[in-house]
Amino acid sequence: MAELDTSGGGKHKGGKVRSKKQSTRVDLTAMVDLAFLLVTFFMLTTTLNKPKAMDLVMPDKDEKVKDEKPVPESRTMTILLGKDNKIEWYLGLPGKPLAPPTTDNFGRNGIRKALLENQKKISDASGGKPMIVLVKPSDHSVYKNMVDIMDELNIAKIDIRAIVDILPAEVELLKRDGNY
Amino acid sequence: MTAMCDVAFLLLTFFILTAKPRTDDPVPVDIPASTMKIQLPESDLATLTVGQKKVFFGVEGFEIRKEVLKQMSDKYKVPFTPEQIIKFSALPTFGVPIRMLPGFLDLDGDQKKNFKQPGIPTDTTATCELFDWVRTARVVTASLDNKDMRVAIKGDGKEEYPTIAMIIKVLQKQKVNKFALITSVKSVAK
């Protein structure tokens, strides 16, 4: 097909030597091979899907300003992140919780269900006001837990949330239930 | 054959033009997945790579890198040669204390790869090197590009939370309260 045609032009008649007619076709096989090699190389070395990002907004930590509004405890859900991907959550204050601390795990039947149920419960009890979620990662939780829980909050469309430092009382709580 | 050749070269051109070489992380980083699909900007961005309790710093843009290094060099009184500054501008991410940086920049490709980078010195005070790198990068980005620099954290999924908390504290010390966590994409588990 694309080979260089080097056979003589026509039949030899009467021993007459004719000049060979050169074909204009060039062998492209090697070039195509090279092109595909380079295509493969570039395909493998480039990252086509650009990294996606999750935005994280932390509460402003200004030592001077002290006009923080108190968080209404009746609408607060606190999520503690423990070791081995375990979660513990409660409603209200740590001393006298409105719902007792519950150990949970990540996933569809774990924290997502609890988030949706609590959201509904709090919304019903307070007349349609949104739930406030405080995420408190302990020292034994890993970065993936934090990303996962923020993702769950995004899925549940809970916008009022914050990552806060864990309190000693809550560490005790995690220790008691074997999650620390 | 001609058509195949055409297609091959078309693809080749496409890949060459879109190519952005994959940057190797100095430590293995397994980024966690999330359902968020916000695109990360390609310029005016600093990336903090976190893994094995070490922090690595990188900022986008050759000119910004050069200027950042010059200002850090003045601040910490560590001199750099023009060659080292050019080498630094091609460095996507690094994790060595600034006193070791000239020596690190003089290493060639393979040595650099095998060099165990100790990470950028980080603590919660406002005088640690990480604080100054981020701050200088923000100042330079604001003056060169007239834009606010975004800070992205690329963390290993198994990194323990205290390391992340420390970085967040360093950022909050300079009132960077909003930053991006780099994640890979997953779909919502139904």
- Tell me the mean pLDDT in the region B6-14: 88
Query: Which pLDDT tens digit goes with each residue over A111-158?
Result: 888 888 888 888 888 777 888 888 888 888 888 888 888 888 888 888
Backbone φ and ψ of A67, nearest 5°: -110, 30
Q: What does the DSSP assignment read for B75-120? A: HHT----HHHHHHHHT-S-B---TTTHHHHHHS-HHHHHHS-----
- Tell me the mean pLDDT in the region B34-61: 84
Residue A114 CB contacts under 8 Å (≥ 6 apart), including other chains: A89, A102, A104
To the nearest whole Å, the CA of A50 is away from the closest chain B CA by 7
Residue recorded with tokens 């690595």 = B56
Interhelix angle B129-144/B161-173, nearest 10 degrees: 50
Q: Quick one: pLDDT band at residue B162, thresholds 50, 70, 90?
A: confident
* pLDDT value at A171 more than 70: yes
Q: Quick one: pLDDT band at residue A3, thresholds 50, 70, 90?
A: low
Task: Considering only the beta carbons, identify the residue of A1, A31, A139 that sits closest to B162.
Answer: A139
> Which one, of B106, B109, B108, B136, lies nearest residue B120 by Cα?
B136
Q: How far is CA B178 from CA A42, A165, B32, in A?
A: 35, 17, 19
Residue of A nearest to B185 (CA): A52
Task: Considering only the beta carbons, identify the residue of B152, B161, B178 that sits closest to A57.
Answer: B178
> Which one, of B137, B131, B129, B143, lies nearest residue B174 by Cα?
B131
pLDDT at B18: 78
Q: Provide the ipTM.
A: 0.78
Query: Which pLDDT tens digit goes with each residue over B106-130?
Result: 888 788 888 888 888 887 676 788 8
Query: Rounded mean pLDDT of chain A?
Result: 78
Taking an 8 Å cut-off on Cβ atoms, the answer to whether B16 and A42 are in contact is: yes
> Which one, of B167, B190, B186, lies nearest residue B37 by Cα?
B186
**What distance in Å separates the CA atoms of residue A77 and residue A74, rounded to the nearest whole number?**
9
Q: What does the DSSP assignment read for A114-141? A: HHHHHHHHHHHHHTSPPPEEEEEE-TT-
Q: What is the largest CA-CA distance in chain B?
A: 66
Taking an 8 Å cut-off on Cβ atoms, the answer to whether B160 and A142 are in contact is: yes
Query: Which pLDDT tens digit goes with each residue over A82-115?
Result: 888 888 888 877 777 777 778 887 777 788 888 8
Mutate to test the interface with A, among B153, B154, B161, B188 (most CBs of A within 10 A): B161
How many beta carbons lie within 10 A of that of residue A121, not counting itself? 15
For residue A91, which amino acid is it? L
Q: Quick one: pLDDT band at residue A161, thresholds 50, 70, 90?
A: confident
Task: Considering only the beta carbons, identify the residue of A1, A39, A139 that sits closest to B161.
Answer: A139
To the nearest whole Å, the CA of A180 is away from the closest chain B CA by 13
* Most confident of the following: A4-13, A45-54, A91-100, B35-44: B35-44
* pLDDT value at A4 more than 60: no
To the nearest whole Å, the CA of A31 is away from the closest chain B CA by 8
**What distance in Å separates the CA atoms of residue A15 and residue B123, rounded to the nearest whole number?**
95
Residue of A nearest to B14 (CA): A39
Taking an 8 Å cut-off on Cβ atoms, the answer to whether A143 and B182 are in contact is: no
Beta strands per DSSP E along A22-75: 52-57
**What distance in Å separates the CA atoms of residue A93 and residue B125, rounded to the nearest whole number?**
32
pLDDT at B101: 86
Mutate to test the interface with A, among B10, B153, B160, B167 (most CBs of A within 10 A): B160
To the nearest whole Å, the CA of A127 is away from the closest chain B CA by 29
pLDDT at B23: 67
Task: Considering only the beta carbons, identify the residue of A45, A60, A143 that sits closest to B156.
Answer: A143
* pLDDT value at A9 more than 60: no
Query: Which pLDDT tens digit goes with each residue over B88-105?
Result: 888 888 888 888 888 888
Taking an 8 Å cut-off on Cβ atoms, the answer to whether B180 and A42 are in contact is: no
pLDDT at A164: 83
Burial (0-12, 13-18, 19+ Cβ within 10 Å), A48 = exposed
> Which one, of B36, B4, B10, B85, lies nearest residue A30 by Cα?
B4
Sign of CA dihedral A102, A108, A112, A117: negative
Q: Quick one: pLDDT band at residue A69, thresholds 50, 70, 90?
A: low
Contact residues on chain B for A148, CB-CB shorter than 8 A? 32, 34
Residue recorded with tokens 């039947």 = A109
Q: What does the DSSP assignment read for A78-117? A: EEEE-STTEEEEEEE-SSSEEEEEEEEESSIIIIIHHHHH
pLDDT at A82: 84
Mutate to test the interface with B, among A1, A56, A147 (most CBs of B within 10 A): A147
Contact residues on chain B for A48, CB-CB shorter than 8 A? 18
Q: Quick one: pLDDT band at residue B22, thresholds 50, 70, 90?
A: low
For residue B141, which amino acid is it? T
Ramachandran category for residue A157: left, alpha or beta (phi over 0 → left; psi -120 to 50 → alpha): left
**What distance in Å separates the CA atoms of residue A34 and residue A2, rounded to the nearest whole number?**
16
* pLDDT value at A80 more than 70: yes
Mutate to test the interface with B, among A37, A116, A142 (most CBs of B within 10 A): A142
User: DSSP class of residue A26?
Assistant: -
**What distance in Å separates the CA atoms of residue B83 and residue A162, rounded to the nearest whole number?**
46
pLDDT at A62: 62
How many beta carbons lie within 10 A of that of residue B62, not counting itself? 11
